Amino acid sequence: MIPFPEYEKYDAIGLAELARSGEMSPDELLEAAITRIESRNPLVNAVINKLYDQARAQLNQLQPQQPLYGAPFLLQDLNAEVRKTPTSAGSRLFCSRPVFHDCELVQRYRRAGLVIAGKTNTAELGLAVTTEPQLFGASRNPWDLSRSPGGSSGGAAAAVAVGMTPVAHAVDIGGSLRAPAVSCGLFGFKPSRGREPEGLTWGRRLQGMAVDHVISRSVRDSAMLLSVSAGLENTEQCYRRALTGPRRPLRIAICEKPFFSATLNNDSLLALDRAAMVCEDMGHEVIQHTLSLDEEELTQAYLTIVAGETAQMVRQVSPSGRPRRGDLELATHLLFNLGLSKTAAEFAWATQVMNQAGRRLEALFQQFDVLLTPAMAGPPMRLGELAHSQQEKLLLELARSFPMTPLLNLLAQNIRARSFSLTPFSPLFNMGGQPAMMLPVWWNQDDLPIGVQFAAGIGQERLLFSLAAQMERALPWFQRRPPLAEPPNMTSAAHLAWRKTAGYDWGGRIAAEG
């Protein structure tokens, strides 16, 4: 039998309460998490660096008064730097870079009592909407192993969905925390720009478009973790208070027109309609609204910032200032070369466009409290859906060897357009800096989670958490778990039979893949 079979019934706050009461010890909670990582990780490839020895050593430093005393936790292998542990960022180039200190965010997690058991898979440098890095291989969506959990935080989302830990750190770049969360039937929250401490090495990455937070099964875990990372867990400003505080009717703008070119699947529109009806039933006013944007300008600005900072990151790490063949995936190498081709004036223009987008959104939030959109264009994408065609690979190889600016721009715009067509509503709030959240609303006929996104003005995290708590009560998702979250003992004959019916051969690979 697996230890502590009730483990999956608790969120991180609940596990901490068990440890504090003495009903379970922190070491029992950690061993329960480790057992689940060992048994379930071969199925979804979520955890790529196991930190069990460090975690066991950390148990000696815990104090019962810590708000998340003894709760097991995972870090995305991006941004969150751990002492004496490489942060690969999903890249061959970065995987051997030494780290000498815990970054401030990790220090705050530890001070809150979280026990870090490992690091999760990530898209290379966090720059893709799927988690299929060449370095570690693809993470799989527990609801359908032929599909992606999204990216860049797909490892974190898959880990929480199968019950390894109830919450996990993740990074949001263009929606890459929120989209994986909702793709796995979980809650994903992106705070306002500047709400949390910046990284040890890279600082304010992507001009503030990259934001750290967590993927969780419960809203209250997300609220508590934001309080921890913002340094507010023991104050009157703790975000968890917003979940039970006074509520008022909200003016909610609903927008189904994608901000970036995309064709919406009917599943996403049904989710939007259902969320709107639930909001109206809760006493909120829902008003149709269309947001007119210059898509080409926003896309070009986004690419300029991402490419420019990618080039600087790579130059900082590469001994020669340039990556060797094989150091980076083709698309990342493309961004490196594109970044080198950009001028200071172009980068300044892109930052100006980003700030203008933020001001436009803030003007919208003077009229409305919240904006409601679909989470994604459709259900979770299939693995390999964004793979380069043979022709595109040849062009990317050509651009790597002969970085001609027109070719770099063309290829980068095509790749980014395909990505944005799957997540056409989320990148805007990374550019504008506003808080945004995604949550599941229903499961479609293929038993895949489909969700919506809510966004609000800068600094309005409490308003969003309050609304999230209402949605969680109206459309509870906490107990909705994929079958992989509760497999029998890995060593039992029953589990071998289960693996076969789940689509696995005896070697642990997807049967008849391809």
Q: How far apart are CA 89 and CA 121, in angstroms?
A: 8
Sheet containing strand 285-288, strands side by side: 47-50, 115-120, 72-76, 167-172, 211-216, 187-190, 436-443, 449-456, 370-374, 251-254, 285-288
Closest CA to 289 of 249, 257, 259, 250: 257
Model confidence at 118: pLDDT above 60: yes
Model confidence at 508: pLDDT above 50: no
Output the CA angle 53-59-62, nearest 5 degrees: 150
In a domain, residue 389? The reply is no
Between these two residues, 330 and 493, which has the higher pLDDT value? 330
Model confidence at 441: pLDDT above 90: yes
In a domain, residue 298? The reply is no
pLDDT tens digits for range 205-262 = 899 999 999 999 999 999 999 999 999 987 778 999 999 988 999 999 999 999 999 9
In a domain, residue 265? The reply is no
In a domain, residue 203? The reply is yes
In a domain, residue 378? The reply is no
Residue 344 to residues 85, 190, 299, 339, 347, Cα–Cα distance (Å): 35, 29, 18, 10, 5
Residue 250 to residues 103, 372, 406, Cα–Cα distance (Å): 38, 12, 47
Q: Do the Cβ atoms of 214 and 168 come closer than 8 Å? A: yes
Model confidence at 455: pLDDT above 50: yes
pLDDT tens digits for range 62-100 = 999 999 999 999 999 999 999 999 999 999 999 988 899
pLDDT tens digits for range 339-351 = 999 999 999 999 9
Q: How far apart are CA 14 and CA 17, in angstroms?
A: 5
In a domain, residue 42? The reply is yes
Mean pLDDT of the chain: 93
Residue 423 pLDDT level (bands cut at 50, 70, 90): very high
Mean pLDDT on 431-459: 98
Residue 502: CA atoms inside 13 Å, Cβ hemisphere, count? 26
Residue span of the structural domain in which 152 resides:
7-248+469-501
Q: Which two tokens stand for residue 452?
A: 């919506």
pLDDT tens digits for range 264-293 = 999 999 999 999 999 999 999 999 999 999
Mean pLDDT on 383-409: 96
Q: How far apart are CA 278 and CA 495, in angstroms?
A: 40
For the chain, give the longest Cα–Cα distance.
Answer: 64
In a domain, residue 152? The reply is yes
Q: How far apart are CA 16 and CA 29, in angstroms?
A: 9
In a domain, residue 416? The reply is no
Model confidence at 489: pLDDT above 60: no
Burial tier of 132 (Cβ tally within 10 Å: 0-12, 13-18, 19+): buried
Model confidence at 511: pLDDT above 70: no
How much is the pLDDT for 495? 41
Residue 224, Cα to own-chain centre: how many angstroms? 17
CATH of the domain at 487: 3.90.1300.10
Q: How far apart are CA 224 and CA 468, in angstroms?
A: 14
Q: In percent, how much of the chain has pLDDT > 70?
A: 93
Residue 299 to residues 104, 118, 381, 439, Cα–Cα distance (Å): 32, 35, 22, 25
How much is the pLDDT for 484? 81
Number of domains into which the chain is organized: 1
Residue type, 367: Q
